[in-house]
Chains A and B, each alone.
Chain A
Amino acid sequence: MDIHINKLAFRWPGASFELKIPSLEVAKGESLAIIGPSGCGKTTLLKLLAGMVLADSGELLLGELDWRAQTETQRRRFRQHAIGFIYQDFRLLDYLNIQDNILLPWRLTQDCGLDHSRARARLEALAQGLGLTDLMSRSLDQISSGERQRVAIARALLMRPQLLLADEPTGNLDPSNKQRVCDLLHDKAREHQATLIMVTHDQALVDRFDHLFDFSQQCEIQSGKEPV
């Protein structure tokens, strides 16, 4: 999925912080690392890309799609089918086991044309690829941090998204796991021909990405901080 941003501006309601991005281009299947100081707007940019919030002005296109031209329901449905989101804090549900956590996007997606047996087949393939096969029936408190991150990645990949957004997915991991998770994301994105955009603080990880977007150099950081 091609991404095109031009003179994008966004301000959180009631906050002094304002995000301004002059331009950004990422082609389908490419990867982009976003770096920058804390509170500069990295997560806000991911939310803008995912259509969770809408820009105040400027242009943001995902392929041909302009988020602002879509209704809330259309945005939600597009997000379900086309975008996978990986969070630093995993955002898994404690009352579901590993298998159900991975299947959650499928359970929440209406008319996705994916029946139960096909969803299970995808689940098994993902579990095998991510080394989660033996953990399927375990609960969250029975697995490690690294395993949780892999569960979150599997969940984001289940619907085979065209755009994979990762918000500091290696933030809670030790150095060896950081590299492993980063490699995994690249491999999976390439496997599914998805565009990968990842926010990171870790300079060591950015070498593998096709593009680098450094907030401190490429956009004007306004006074105030990005709301959490």
Chain B
Amino acid sequence: MKQQLCYLVIRHMSYHRLRTLWLWLGLTLTCWLPLCVHHLTQVFEQRLITRAEQTPLILGVRGNAYDLVFHALYFRHGMEDRLKMKDWAEVAEHAGIAALPLVHGFHARSQPIVGITIDYLQRRQLRLSSGRAFTSLGECVLGAKFAREQGMEVGDSVMSDPENVFHLAGSYPLKLRVVGILAPSGSSDDSAVFVDLKTHWVLEGLGHGHATPETAEAASQEWAISGDGSLNATAAVLPYLEITAENAQDVHFHQSTEEMPISAVLIWPDSDRATALLLGAYQDPSQVLQLIRPMEVVESMMGWVFRVRTFLDLNYLLVGFAVISFLGLIMLLSNQLRGPEFAILRDLGASAGFLRGLVLVEWGLLILMALVCAVFMTLGMGALLRQWLVQVL
């Protein structure tokens, strides 16, 4: 009997396909909106928390903790006040911790160029899908998403973005050689360009080389003496810097490594004791440096997200209630419209239970189809927006 009931329901739905489609779309959207918002906030929360969990402590210059977390973990926000390498050396001396310096403030094709040490890749468990890690100045390793979107492979080169074209005394863009590409990690590392700390300092203009023309002819091509006797660069002077095997040995820094700037130090203590000792060492508010737990900062921020989500959930609950009321009305009117049909079925011997089943199975099928579709749409949207979320973070 159930088979016959389902047969009649399917025949009815397929005959009134436009009406069925309309109802199904309405139900799908009603289910999808709250599901999608819930799912995306969960993905957002998971991404934030996972990254924060993977980095127990961050050392930076005292200031806005949110800025420091977003700078050090998600490579967002520039840091105006910066630490020095000697601060990293000092914290690294503490027993039972691993501390890694990090600096960024420049971009390549609008994505962050992050100065790190090789240990960063190991600590973040970033695997190379091709090529090798950087070993010398001017080399870079690309995040998976950056390489895919820019169509870059090992052997290509990427130019750093000019920071300000009107700042004539500013640093030139640096041409970076791509020596490795990372496998996707589903984190903000996927969109970054990783270079050695020293390469980043060259980008900042803290290190440089001196090009010496090999011949008088080459020099005359690059420089010209104007009428007032001043020396001017010609168009033969390249508008960017490139560190090659030939000029790498000429690159030098006018500051000691200890005085070189970094943005943050990522710290992984071995134990709770090491964590406690380190936190104790930086708890004085008068200190220039602050040591923060990213998880606490992220949880505090998630509090806002949860509050917004609660508001949205409440909103959807009210909208859902209104939609269910409308659906009830539609069902009632639909049953009235189907009165003659039910009378025929009753006269032919259909029981009241059969007629109830006919209505319930039809609506049940519609709601089930809508729910399944809403779940798939949510997952699809989640997959589509996952990359966007990574970018946002």
Answer yes or no: are A and B bound together in one complex. yes
Closest A residue by C-beta to B354: A108
A108→B348 contact, CB < 8 A: yes
Question: Taking each of B4, B16, B348, which has the highest tally of chain A beta carbons within 10 Å of its own beta carbon?
Answer: B348
Q: Which of B313-345 contact A (CB under 8 A)?
A: 341, 344-345
B109 within 8 A of A: no
Of the candidate stretches A29-37, A61-69, A76-84, the one touching chain B is: A76-84
Q: Does A171 contact B (CB under 8 A)?
A: no
| B7 interface residue per 8 A CB criterion | yes
Q: A107-B7, A110-B1 are in contact. Are A91 and B347 (CB under 8 A)?
A: yes
Q: In the assembled complex, which residues on chain A have CB atoms less than 8 Å from the CB atom of B135?
A: none
B115: shortest Cβ distance to chain A, in Å? 70
Contact partner, B347, options A73, A85, A100, A107, Cβ 8 Å: A85
> In this assembly, does B349 line the interface, its C-beta being within 8 Å of a C-beta of chain A?
yes
- Give the residues from 90 to 133 in chain A that come closer than 8 angstroms, CB to CB, to chain B: 91-96, 100, 104-105, 107-110
How many residues from B make CB contacts under 8 Å with A? 18
| A108 contact from B12, B15, B350, Cβ within 8 A | B350
- B360 vs chain A, min Cβ distance (A): 17
- For A100, list chain B residues within 8 Å (CB): 11
Residue of B nearest to A77 (CB): B349
| Chain A contacts for B12, CB-based, 8 A | 95
Question: Separation in Å of the A111 CB from the closest CB of chain B?
Answer: 9
A13 and B19 alpha carbons, distance in the complex (Å): 37
Tell me whether A76 and B15 are in contact in the complex, defined as CB-CB below 8 angstroms, given that A93-B341, A107-B7 are known contacts.
no
Chain A interface bracket (under 10, 10 to 19, 20 to 34, 35 or more): 20 to 34
A residues in contact with B16, CB < 8 Å = 95
Q: Are A73 and B351 in contact (CB under 8 A)?
A: yes
User: Taking chain B's interface residues, is the majority helix, strand, or loop, or is none over half, making it mixed?
Assistant: helix
Is A52 part of the contact surface with B, judged by Cβ < 8 Å? yes
Q: Is B8 an interface residue (CB 8 A)?
A: yes
Residue of A nearest to B344 (CB): A91
Which residues of chain A come closer than 8 Å to B347, judged between CB atoms? 52, 85, 91
A61 to B: closest C-beta gap in Å = 21
The CA-CA distance from A170 to B88 in the complex, in Å, is 102
A-B contact count (CB 8 A): 41
Q: How far is the CB of B373 from chain A (nearest CB, A)?
A: 23
Chain A residue with Cβ nearest B10: A95
Most buried by B among A76, A96, A108, A109: A108
User: In the complex, which residues of chain A have a beta carbon less than 8 angstroms from the beta carbon of B351?
Assistant: 73, 76
How far is the CB of A126 from the nearest CB of chain B, in Å?
16
Please name the residue on chain A nearest to B340 by beta carbon.
A91
In contact, B11 and A109 (Cβ under 8 angstroms): no
How distant is the Cα of A155 from the Cα of B347 in the complex, in angstroms? 12
Chain A 148-160 against B: per-residue CB contact (8 Å), 1 yes, 0 no? 0000000100000
- Assembly CA distance A73 to B12 (angstroms): 26
**B349 engages A108 (CB within 8 Å):** yes
By a CB distance below 8 angstroms, the chain A residues around B1 are: 110
**A108 CB, min distance to chain B CBs, angstroms:** 5
Contact of B349 with A105 in the complex, beta carbons under 8 Å: yes
Q: Which residues of B are found within 8 Å of A105, using beta-carbon distances?
A: 348-349
Cα–Cα, bound, A52→B346 (Å): 10
- Least CB distance, A109 to chain B, in whole angstroms: 6
Q: Within the complex, what minimum Cβ distance (angstroms) separates A21 from chain B?
A: 22
Within residues 20 to 66 of chain A, which ones have a CB less than 8 A from any CB in chain B? Answer: 52
The chain B residue sitting closest to A109, CB to CB, is: B349
B11 and A80 contacting across the interface, CB-CB below 8 Å: no
Residues from chain B with a CB closer than 8 A to the CB of A108 are 4, 345, 348-350, 354
- Are B11 and A96 closer than 8 Å at their CB atoms? yes
CB-CB < 8 A to B344: which residues of A?
A: 91-93
Bound Cα distance A108, B347 (Å): 10
* Min C-beta distance of B246 to chain A, whole Å: 83
B355 to chain A, nearest CB (A): 10
Closest to A91 in B: B344
Is A95 a contact partner of B11 (Cβ separation < 8 A)? yes
B4's partner among A76, A85, A107, A155 (CB-CB below 8 A) is A107
Q: Of residues B11, B347, B354, which shows the largest number of chain A Cβ atoms within 10 Å of its Cβ? A: B347
Set of chain A residues within 8 Å of B349, measured between Cβ atoms: 76-77, 79-80, 105, 108-109
The answer for the CA separation of A104 and B344 in the assembled complex, in Å, is 10
Report the minimum CB–CB distance from B176 to chain A (whole Å): 68
Nearest B residue to A95 by beta-carbon distance? B15
In the bound complex, CA of A79 to CA of B16 (Å): 30
- By a CB distance below 8 angstroms, the chain B residues around A92 are 344
A73-B351, A95-B14, A110-B1 given; 20 more Cβ-contact pairs under 8 Å: A80-B348, A85-B347, A85-B348, A91-B347, A92-B344, A93-B341, A93-B345, A94-B15, A95-B11, A95-B12, A96-B11, A104-B345, A104-B348, A105-B349, A107-B4, A108-B4, A108-B345, A108-B349, A109-B349, A155-B348
* 23 A-B contact pairs sorted by A residue (CB < 8 Å): A52-B347, A76-B349, A76-B351, A79-B349, A85-B347, A85-B348, A91-B344, A92-B344, A93-B344, A95-B12, A95-B14, A95-B15, A95-B16, A100-B11, A104-B345, A105-B349, A107-B4, A108-B4, A108-B348, A108-B349, A108-B350, A109-B349, A155-B348
Binding site for A on B (CB under 8 A): 1, 4, 7-8, 11-12, 14-16, 341, 344-345, 347-351, 354
Residues of A whose CB lies within 8 Å of any CB of B are 52, 73, 76-77, 79-80, 85, 91-96, 100, 104-105, 107-110, 155
